[in-house]
């Protein structure tokens, strides 16, 4: 084999390695994309099932809670001012 043929063969081998590596990366990317979609769907399902604290209580309970919080804030303010 001549030097030129050796270089061509080496080039083909390296090119084949690159192709294999690219295929592996593409496959991994597809897997990660599927996993990402699965996790997003799961997150959306969990978010739909959640309710915040205020939607779980009645309006009168919200008003009472607001008054309690405002009272506590007023006490803290008075304590800090003195």
Please give the pLDDT value at position 17: 97
Question: Distance between the two ends of the chain, CA-based, in angstroms?
Answer: 95
Q: What is the pLDDT of residue 23?
A: 97
- pLDDT by residue (tens digit) across 27-38? 999 999 999 999
Confidence tier at 53 by pLDDT (50, 70, 90): low
23 and 4 in a common domain: yes
Q: Are 28 and 61 within one domain?
A: no
CA distance 24 to 17: 11
CB proximity list for 57: less than 8 A, separation 6 or greater: 65
Q: What SS3 state is found at 49?
A: helix
pTM exceeds 0.85: no
One domain for residues 38 and 68: no
Same domain membership, residue 19 and residue 38: yes
- The answer to whether 65 and 57 have CB atoms below 8 angstroms apart is yes
- Reported as a pLDDT band with limits 50, 70 and 90, residue 54 is low
Range of the domain at 42: 1-50
Structural domain count of the chain: 2
């Amino acid at each position: 084999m001549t030097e030129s043929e050796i270089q061509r063969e080496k080039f083909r081998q390296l090119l084949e390695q690159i192709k294999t590596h690219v295929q592996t990366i593409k496959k991994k990317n597809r897997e990660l994309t599927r996993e990402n979609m699965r996790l997003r769907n799961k997150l959306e399902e969990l978010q739909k099932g959640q309710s915040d604290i205020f939607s779980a209580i009645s309006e009168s309970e919200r008003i009472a809670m607001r008054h309690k919080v405002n009272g506590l804030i007023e006490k803290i303010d008075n304590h800090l001012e003195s």
